[in-house]
């Protein structure tokens, strides 16, 4: 294990830096013949739009600016300097750097969404072909690439469910069923759309309870929103029965495939009977998201639901690519213009560079890595694998530190803070709901090597050991991080305690 020490710069904010007269770039004055011909640059700005006073900008050299931002970058444990396995359902996989060249190329970055379609045929072709690839991966018949993220894509699917039942004169259907260990975005999207949410709990074996579903379905059922594998990594082997049951009462079924890495090329939404699915194009198809970059979701449906998709979709008439307004039946717009084309371009590059065999390999590697990690984690005294014990997980696993907590008083939140001292960024808060006590959900996908996984496990083994011998050490962590104490849950919701910079944080700690 490395002896990690995070950068701790007592860095003023950039507006407080610089000194009078310092400059980054010295611009030459315009030559006389230029000003004679066009006047001064200022005179070209209408008087009403000119500033009365010069803006207060920091006066700094290029090196000072560069140093400032490089230092700040070292105060984070981002995906590129971290073995990012511990965020559970939000783990970021490797995003090939070559993709950045594509999205930052002027061919992409200088496009404007209001350009005439004839001048943006390249990106429209990429959007269209990405839609086709996603159809192939899922078996669905049409995708909208409009959503800004996974939960918005789920919301889009809920809106399709509502529009479909309305078109059939069945808008009395006001219940949506989900499972407690499906991603919480499913219940949230259904509830936001105004549906009553019925939640299925696991049966005695740890799988979504088919008998509970049988009791829940009825004439009011609008649909089923389900994640599979669930956020526990458990694959619901009765998924087809779940879908059939909901179909038997006239409901629609939507498959949350945000974490599709363990399923690529092995199973498809269509064969399980689903009417809809969604993918997180960030994360599963490369591209970091959350505070590390914008996200994009893809909403896919079977042919009978295509008219309801978010508008516009991208079509091809044999000669040119164009944006198609989906008309009156469409659920309307989820986002402006083309969705988030940079993330879609990375998705396209990811699929093209891997090909069908490569994508299947991703699934195999994700499952292998996860089960290796799981086996190693379970060798640590104090950690357990509740629900479906002894059964394999797919690409992630929800473990529990409950035994360690009962033995030492050190729980998942303490470990979450202490792991930062080992150089790993975790954020166990994503491991909701806490149906499993003291939860922890690692997800290595295909990104990490055996050595990375071993180092990650060794850090947790060391913390479990510390918990037994010196629990206070763990409870008061972190010590080697940029911030002495992480802001706790309350701090995140109390505006008076926000600290967006190291300095602001210090002021509030010193008080």
Q: Are 283 and 340 in contact (CB under 8 A)?
A: no
Task: Give 337's Cβ-side CA count (13 Å radius).
Answer: 14
User: H/E element holding 252?
Assistant: strand 252-256
- Minimum CB distance to ligand PLP smaller for 6 or for 95: 95
- Minimum CB distance to ligand PLP smaller for 90 or for 387: 90
- Minimum CB distance to ligand PLP smaller for 279 or for 338: 279
- Minimum CB distance to ligand PLP smaller for 142 or for 289: 289
Going by C-beta distance under 8 Å and a sequence separation of 6 or more, which residues neighbour residue 204? none
CB of 183 to ligand PLP, least distance (A): 3
- Minimum CB distance to ligand PLP smaller for 297 or for 423: 297
Q: Count Cβ neighbours within 10 Å for each residue of 261-295 and write b for 16 or more, e otherwise.
A: bbbbbebbbbebbbbbbbbbbbbbbbbbbeebbeb
Rounded Cα gap, residues 172 and 167, in angstroms:
12
Structure tokens, 15: 């507006």
- Minimum CB distance to ligand PLP smaller for 298 or for 482: 298
Going by C-beta distance under 8 Å and a sequence separation of 6 or more, which residues neighbour residue 65? 14, 24
N- to C-terminal Cα separation, the chain: 36
Structure tokens, 434: 């806490």
Rounded Cα gap, residues 179 and 187, in angstroms:
9
CB of 106 to ligand PLP, least distance (A): 28
Q: Which residue has the tokens 């390249």?
A: 122
- Minimum CB distance to ligand PLP smaller for 151 or for 408: 151
Q: Are 200 and 156 in contact (CB under 8 A)?
A: no
CB of 282 to ligand PLP, least distance (A): 7
317 preceded by a cis bond (ω within 30 of 0): no
- Minimum CB distance to ligand PLP smaller for 188 or for 487: 188
CB of 387 to ligand PLP, least distance (A): 16
- Given its phi and psi angles, is residue 481 left (phi above 0), alpha (psi -120 to 50 degrees) or beta? beta
CB of 259 to ligand PLP, least distance (A): 5
Contact footprint for ligand PLP (CB under 6 A): 89-90, 149-151, 183, 185, 227, 256, 258-259, 280, 283, 289, 295
- DSSP letter string, 376-443: HHTTSTT-B--SSTTS--SS---EE-HHHHHHHS--HHHHHHHGGGGT----GGGS-STTSSSEE---
CB of 378 to ligand PLP, least distance (A): 23
CB of 93 to ligand PLP, least distance (A): 11
CB of 287 to ligand PLP, least distance (A): 11
Rounded Cα gap, residues 243 and 240, in angstroms:
5
| SS3 label, residue 20 | coil
- In 3D, which of 381, 400, 380, 376 has the Cα closest to residue 389? 400
- Minimum CB distance to ligand PLP smaller for 250 or for 294: 294
**Would you say the C-alpha torsion 398, 403, 404, 408 has a positive or negative sign?**
positive
CB of 88 to ligand PLP, least distance (A): 8
Residue with the CB atom nearest ligand PLP in the bound state? 150
CB of 366 to ligand PLP, least distance (A): 14
CB of 186 to ligand PLP, least distance (A): 7
Going by C-beta distance under 8 Å and a sequence separation of 6 or more, which residues neighbour residue 128? 314, 315, 316, 321
Rounded Cα gap, residues 43 and 393, in angstroms:
68
- Minimum CB distance to ligand PLP smaller for 120 or for 181: 181
Q: Are 326 and 309 in contact (CB under 8 A)?
A: yes
- Minimum CB distance to ligand PLP smaller for 310 or for 477: 310
CB of 256 to ligand PLP, least distance (A): 5
Going by C-beta distance under 8 Å and a sequence separation of 6 or more, which residues neighbour residue 92? 79, 84, 283, 288, 289, 290, 292
- Minimum CB distance to ligand PLP smaller for 24 or for 184: 184
CB of 150 to ligand PLP, least distance (A): 2
Give residue 68's Cα distance to chain centre: 28
Rounded Cα gap, residues 256 and 229, in angstroms:
9
- Minimum CB distance to ligand PLP smaller for 181 or for 314: 181
């Amino acid at each position: 294990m490395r002896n990690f020490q995070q950068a701790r710069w007592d860095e003023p904010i950039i507006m407080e830096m610089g000194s009078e007269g310092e400059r980054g770039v010295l611009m030459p004055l315009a030559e006389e013949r230029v000003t004679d011909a066009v006047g001064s640059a200022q005179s070209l700005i209408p008087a009403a739009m000119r500033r009365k006073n010069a803006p207060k900008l920091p006066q700094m050299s290029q090196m000072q600016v560069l140093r400032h931002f490089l230092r700040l970058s070292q105060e984070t444990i981002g995906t590129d300097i971290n073995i990012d396995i511990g965020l559970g359902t939000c783990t970021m996989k490797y995003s090939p750097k070559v993709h950045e060249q594509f999205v930052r190329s002027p061919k992409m970055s200088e496009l404007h969404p209001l350009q005439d379609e004839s001048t943006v045929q390249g990106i429209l072709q990429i959007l269209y072909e990405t839609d086709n690839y996603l159809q192939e991966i899922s078996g669905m018949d049409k995708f909208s690439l409009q959503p800004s993220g996974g939960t918005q894509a789920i919301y889009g699917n809920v809106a399709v469910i509502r529009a479909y039942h309305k078109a059939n004169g069945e808008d009395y259907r006001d219940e949506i069923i989900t499972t407690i260990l499906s991603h919480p975005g499913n219940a949230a999207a259904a509830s936001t759309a105004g549906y009553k949410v019925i939640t299925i709990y696991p049966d005695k074996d740890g799988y979504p309870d088919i008998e509970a579903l049988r009791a829940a379905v009825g004439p009011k059922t609008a649909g089923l929103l389900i994640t599979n594998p669930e956020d526990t990594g458990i694959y619901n082997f009765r998924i087809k029965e779940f879908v059939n049951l909901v179909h038997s009462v006239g409901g629609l079924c939507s498959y949350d495939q945000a974490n599709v890495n363990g399923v690529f090329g092995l199973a498809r939404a269509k064969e399980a009977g689903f009417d809809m699915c969604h993918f997180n194009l960030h994360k599963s198809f490369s591209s970091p998201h959350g505070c590390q970059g914008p996200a994009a979701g893809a909403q896919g449906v079977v042919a009978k639901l295509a008219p309801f998709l978010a508008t516009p979709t991208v079509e091809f008439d044999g000669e040119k690519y164009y944006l198609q307004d989906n008309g009156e039946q469409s659920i309307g717009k989820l986002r402006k213009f083309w969705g988030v084309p940079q993330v879609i371009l990375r998705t396209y590059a990811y699929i093209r560079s891997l090909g069908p065999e490569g994508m299947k390999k991703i699934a195999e590697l994700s499952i292998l890595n996860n089960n290796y990690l799981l086996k190693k984690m379970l060798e640590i005294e104090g950690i357990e694998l509740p629900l479906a014990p002894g059964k394999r997980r797919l690409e992630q696993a929800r473990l529990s530190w409950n035994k360690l907590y009962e033995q030492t008083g050190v729980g998942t939140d303490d470990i979450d803070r202490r792991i930062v001292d080992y150089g790993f960024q975790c954020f166990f808060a994503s491991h909701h709901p806490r149906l499993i006590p003291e939860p922890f959900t690692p997800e290595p996908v295909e990104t990490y090597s055996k050595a990375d996984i071993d180092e990650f496990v060794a850090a947790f083994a060391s913390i479990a050991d510390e918990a037994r011998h010196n629990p206070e050490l763990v409870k008061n962590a972190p010590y080697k991080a940029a911030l002495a104490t992480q802001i706790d849950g309350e701090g995140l919701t109390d505006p008076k305690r926000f600290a967006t910079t190291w300095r602001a944080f210090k002021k509030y700690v010193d008080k």
